[in-house]
Amino acid sequence: MKYLTLIFFISFSVSAQDIKVKNLKKHVEYLSSDKLQGRGTGTSGEKMASEYIIKQFKKAGLSPLGENGGYLQLFPAKKGKPGKMTSVEAHNVVAYLNNDKPYTIVIGAHYDHLGMGDQGSSLQANSEGQIHNGADDNASGVAGMLELARYFSKNNITENYNMVFIAFSGEELGLVGSKFIADNPTFDLKNINCMFNLDMIGRYRTDKGVNIGGVGSSKFWEENATKLAENMAIKYTVDSSGIGPSDHTSFYLKDIPVLFLFTGAHQEYHKPTDDANLINYEGQKLMVEYIVKMIDLLGTTDKITFKKTSNPHSQAAKSTFKVTMGVIPDYSFDGKGMKIDGTTDGKPAEKAGIKAGDIIQKIGDFEIKDVYGYMEALGKHEKGQTVTIKILRKGETIELPLTF
């Protein structure tokens, strides 16, 4: 206990004194400006955003860690509303801070948003053609990631870990970019100690605080995540699950400990009104400082141990359906049915014996052609109802009973 107290004292004494609000504000204002037209996946606005991120990585002195000696990693994606899907090319932006250490920390944030409201996720009625600037979602997280890149490369300290910084695209299409790099890494996943995900960190409020997700994915988080928040006078809620609606899920499914910061939804969420003037920049700075201080604490440990997580402790993410199966869809799958990327322990799918890689073809009486058909089928069932799930597993058709 004395040792931990000393560590916290040191962390507070020397860490995070150089996180600059002016840098966070500059990044958010550019990334959420109208000229980027909402950073839709595969658009010219997304390309402008990626070029800006590369410029900041270069300014920080980070090495490229994408493909072909550059910062970019190309991946395919599909976007649009049901019946109007189009194929596009998108890019993750990947950079490396080499401290010549055996293990590496990943710090990520998604830089795509909803573009001109033509991707089907806007919560504004008749929004097609309107710019969805996404200042909080997720220019705020990218700004935090860029400021962390600058801080760790310029602080005249050699941390105990190397660092990979990733700006993901395709998050709004279903974690497509983060899944792609987790499946096709440009670095050795075996050497990854943990992954930090910053998604919507720009609207911190002292009445609601921040949701700290993924805490159950390592004993280290369980012992330190809330303690650090309390020492920093940060109001918080906790979600133990490593699975959630953001890019950390892709790394959790690779058995990597994850920690996810999210300052909460608001009335501007997924609407054209999510603009830079509404960001709480001092609160955003506090979230970035939290990551700095957590990495300071990690510097006193060896590689932390991964844990499979239990169900969420909080209700930070709510479903609009009466029932859930507890599956992670593979949004990049373009065959017939819905392919499963992972299941949640204790949920109906896991209890029924459904596994990652299975392709759901039928739920009860409802044929499943794609993820939209899956969501429609969920809305037709009640809690406690038992149905037969038809799946394709390695070419074999299997039927399993599932109780919602």
pLDDT of residue 378: 85
Farthest CA pair distance, the chain: 63
Q: For strand 210-213 and strand 236-239, is the pairing parallel, antiparallel, or unpaired?
A: parallel
pLDDT of residue 4: 37
The 3-state secondary structure of the chain, one letter per residue: CHHHHHHHHHHHHHCCCCCCHHHHHHHHHHHCCHHHHHHECCCHHHHHHHHHHHHHHHHCCCEECCCCCCCEEEEEEEECCCCCCEEEEEEEEEEEECCCCCCEEEEEEECCECCCCCCCCCCCCCCCCCCCCCHHHHHHHHHHHHHHHHHHHHCCCCCCCEEEEEEECCHHHCCHHHHHHHHCCCCCHHHEEEEEEECCCCCCCCCCCEEEECHHHEHHHHHHHHHHHHHCCCCEEEECCCCCCCCHHHHHCCCCCEEEEECCCCCCCCCCCCCHHHCCHHHHHHHHHHHHHHHHHHCCCCCCCECCCCCCCCCCCCCCCCCCCCEEECCCCCCCCEEEEEECCCCHHHHHCCCCCCEEEEECCEECCCHHHHHHHHCCCCCCCEEEEEEEECCEEEEEEEEC
Query: Which residue is associated with the tokens 């799930």?
Result: 389
pLDDT of residue 119: 86
pLDDT of residue 231: 97
Dihedral, CA of residue 55, residue 257, residue 175 and residue 268, to nearest 10 = -80
CA distance 56 to 174: 26
- What number of other Cβ atoms are within 10 A of residue 339's Cβ? 22
pLDDT of residue 331: 66
Q: How many CA atoms lie within 13 A of 138 on its CB side?
A: 29
Dihedral, CA of residue 102, residue 150, residue 196 and residue 205, to nearest 10 = 150
Tokens of 261: 């910061």
pLDDT per residue of the chain (404 residues) written in tens, 0 to 9: 323 333 343 344 444 458 999 999 999 999 999 999 999 999 999 999 999 999 999 999 999 999 999 999 999 999 987 778 899 999 999 999 999 999 999 999 999 999 999 888 888 888 899 999 999 999 999 999 999 999 999 999 999 999 999 999 999 999 999 999 999 999 999 999 999 999 999 999 998 899 999 999 999 999 999 999 999 999 999 999 998 889 999 999 999 999 999 999 888 999 999 999 999 999 999 999 999 999 999 988 889 999 998 655 444 443 445 788 988 777 667 789 999 888 877 889 999 999 989 999 999 999 998 876 887 888 888 889 999 999 999 999 999 999 99
Residue among 338, 332, 342, 327 at smallest CA distance from 368? 338
For residues 104 and 187, the answer to whether their CB atoms sit within 8 Å is: yes
Tokens of 352: 């029924």
